[in-house]
Chain A
Amino acid sequence: MKLSLQREHLLRPLTLVAGVVERRGSLPVLNNLLFEVSETSLKLTGSDLEVELQAEVTPLQVIKTGNVTVPAKKLLDICKSLPEQAELTLELEEQRLLIRSGRSRFTLTTLPAEDFPKVKDADFDSSFGLPQARLKYLIEHTAFAMAQQDVRYYLNGMFLELDGNTLRTVTTDGHRLALCAQPLDTQVQEERSGVIIPRKGVIELSRLLEETETPVTLALGRTHMRAQLNDYLFTSKLVDGKFPDYERVIPRNGQNVMQGERQALKQVFNRTAILSNEKYRGVRLILSSNHLQVLANNPEQEEAEEQVSVDYHGSALEICFNVSYLLDILNALDSEHVEIALSDSNSSALIQDAGGGAAQYVVMPMRLS
């Protein structure tokens, strides 16, 4: 293997790919990046067994093709510290990688490419494209409600569902649920199907997505999901479980609908949150005609009280919520007005953009004592 590269061409892909590499030490080869050099391109692959990221770089010149794995962290540090616009030559010599640039010279140890557990090009059942911005929107509007290290392991991730020509993401931690849907340009398949992407996969994927109309191609399989964006190929394992029937928990009978300004409500909740119980974070919402009172107190008997005028014509109602859940939702929504549909003080609330939007949120109230 021998090739030459421009530092700037290599640096960003290398940073991203090396970011996936985790030093857990279970398999030494995972501290390395896989280099696959063909006649026209260089493919870099990093993996922590849960997610895998492959980047394609165009080299200046390929003198000899070949595959090998190289220590990720060290290579990245070398590339970073080389001067701008530097040109690098990488050459494999007797199982060592020789890097030359100007007057610098480095030799790195390598491990054979065959030892690298690359995800097989598994058979993916369905594959479809959509603009990157749309997928980013889906993830950003739901990712915060994923469970963290819950024993119900199927909640520690994001449910990605294909339903006709709609793509939906659903997350829940058992207390709240976030759901967001976006249209696809073509219908992919007849029946509904979905996969659960583990938490780490979701976070890594959203890092790659940009606010552009450039398409990303998603492919879903039995054991993996894959996203192809420009020069990057992202693959994640799936959670091997069944996601709960989320439609059953979305309340349809919220006849008491409150509408209010999102920013104003956000500030109100932010202020009252200061004096809520640090552990349970409960705030009390008292609704009467066109008026909302928010109360919070903590074990030290400190109290916060806020009054805000809202659009409300339902019956008088008192309900208690975890204020962090409300703030997460108000931060995720993006229209000026939001609506909260309630039925009584023991039933879940449905929160969404006023008049309905792409994202819907369900929050369970706290019991009033």
Chain B
Amino acid sequence: MDIPAQVLPWQQDIWQHWQQQKARQRLPHAILLTGIPGVGKRQLALAFAQALLCQQVQSDGQACGHCSQCHLVTHQQHPDLHWIQPEREGGGILIDAMRQLRQEVNQSAQQSGYRLFILAPAEALNTYAANALLKSLEEPGAATLFILISDQSARVLPTIKSRCQHWQVKTPAADMALAWLAKVKNWPPEQAKMALRLASGAPLQAVDCLDTDYQQHRQAFFNALDHLLKGFLAIQAAHTLQTWSLEANLQLYLSWLKDTLVYQMTQETNRLRHLDQVHLIQESAVLLTRLQIFKLYQLGIQLSRQVQNKTNPNKALLLETLWLQSAHLLKAENNQNSLVPGYLFLSH
């Protein structure tokens, strides 16, 4: 876990609330922290955890960063701060982790202070693990705090949600996010703006959006799309995109459809995410009917769900399904309009 503990500017209101709760000794025993990916939920959770453990808390409620407790936290050695995460990226949190957690919950804190359990992401808990967690979550002893972090709180069991106090990290306003980006990254304003757009406004995600790998992926995706729209083979598109993860592929796919829909309805380009691909989006907005867009979107969602449910899908197979079915959907629709196959997508 290499995440810096920090309270970001747009999290100040939550931080203040928590400080007040702490001062009045009204802290809940479990917090569910939600928000879109890249708004700094883990950073905030860690900052608060460290502040609860710190021996010399500063006047703004933040940890001092140099007492013995802070040392243990920053060196990831603190015995009372437990990170619970999937063993591998994208995997589930299993019941064994919960059994171990219960042992820790049942015993007093090793450093005589707070006991903290940060679960991230909470939607990765499988059914058994979630049910095993309920008991611990229900009535932990004094000085215990669970922080559950979730990008998609809809997928967290309602029984777990009902035991937590719910806090949402809001996506910051564009100017606040841009100001922050300007501070941490030395980007030209135009570039920062585009990155933020691509990240749906999440500043930490924006930092990743400008790395070359993502840019390459995006380029490859739009090339493939261009080919598909021009009637080339879908299977080839699927093949070139295999280098990147399924999640990333589906995300791009869905964001392209969103842009297309937005453009079709508003005819405005300034709302688009893929600003540099305006041309292609305009083209697809002309080519696709509204029904087609929704059908394609449904397909994307359906496949995302398969990926999220940890059914361990075959990557090549799933990508081929995505592109072939997209091609098929387009073909079927256009066939109804009795168009000549082969020139399917150019004619409108």
Q: How far does the alpha carbon of A117 sit from the alpha carbon of B109 in the complex, in Å?
A: 12
Mask, A92-135, CB within 8 Å of B = 1, is 00000000000000000000001111011010000000000000
| Chain B residues within an 8 Å CB radius of A237 | 107-110
Q: How far does the alpha carbon of A222 sit from the alpha carbon of B142 in the complex, in Å?
A: 11
Contact of B77 among A117, A221, A223, A241 (CB under 8 A): A117
Query: Is the Cβ of A120 less than 8 Å from the Cβ of B107?
Result: no
Q: Does A37 contact B (CB under 8 A)?
A: no
Query: Is the Cβ of A29 less than 8 Å from the Cβ of B77?
Result: yes
Q: How far does the alpha carbon of A117 sit from the alpha carbon of B75 in the complex, in Å?
A: 11
Query: Is the Cβ of A119 less than 8 Å from the Cβ of B75?
Result: no
Query: Is the Cβ of A120 less than 8 Å from the Cβ of B111?
Result: yes
Q: How far does the alpha carbon of A237 sit from the alpha carbon of B105 in the complex, in Å?
A: 12
Q: Does A278 contact B (CB under 8 A)?
A: no
| Chain A residues within an 8 Å CB radius of B107 | 50, 198, 237-240
Query: Is the Cβ of B111 less than 8 Å from the Cβ of A114?
Result: no
Mask, B99-111, CB within 8 Å of A = 1, is 0001101111111
Query: Is the Cβ of A114 less than 8 Å from the Cβ of B108?
Result: no
Residue of B nearest to A52 (CB): B110
Query: Is the Cβ of A117 less than 8 Å from the Cβ of B141?
Result: no
Q: A50-B107, A117-B77, A117-B78 are in contact. Are A240 and B141 (CB under 8 A)?
A: yes
Mask, A203-239, CB within 8 Å of B = 1, is 0000000000000000001111000000000000111
Query: Is the Cβ of B111 less than 8 Å from the Cβ of A115?
Result: no
Mask, A236-273, CB within 8 Å of B = 1, is 01111100000000000000000000000000000000
Q: Does A358 contact B (CB under 8 A)?
A: no
Among A50, A117, A221, A240, max chain B CB count under 10 A is at: A240
Interface footprint category on A: 20 to 34
Q: How would you classify the secondary structure of chain A's contact residues: helix, strand, loop or mixed?
A: loop
Q: How far does the alpha carbon of A222 sit from the alpha carbon of B112 in the complex, in Å?
A: 8
What's the least CB distance linking B247 to chain A, in Å?
A: 30
Q: A114-B68, A114-B71, A117-B72 are in contact. Are A49 and B79 (CB under 8 A)?
A: yes
What's the least CB distance linking A165 to chain B, in Å?
A: 26
Mask, A175-207, CB within 8 Å of B = 1, is 000000000000000000000001000000000
Query: Is the Cβ of A117 less than 8 Å from the Cβ of B111?
Result: yes
Q: How far does the alpha carbon of A29 sit from the alpha carbon of B78 in the complex, in Å?
A: 11
| Chain B residues within an 8 Å CB radius of A116 | 77
Residue of B nearest to A119 (CB): B110
Q: A222-B108, A223-B109, A238-B108 are in contact. Are A115 and B75 (CB under 8 A)?
A: yes
Which chain A residues (115-165) contact chain B, with CB distance < 8 Å? 115-117, 119-120, 122, 153-154
Residues on A facing B (Cβ under 8 Å): 27, 29, 49-50, 114-117, 119-120, 122, 153-154, 198, 221-224, 237-241
- Apart from A116-B77, A237-B107, A241-B106, 5 more pairs, CB < 8 Å: A27-B77, A49-B79, A114-B71, A117-B110, A120-B111
8 shortest interchain CB distances as A-B pairs? A223-B108, A240-B141, A153-B106, A122-B112, A117-B79, A223-B112, A238-B108, A115-B77
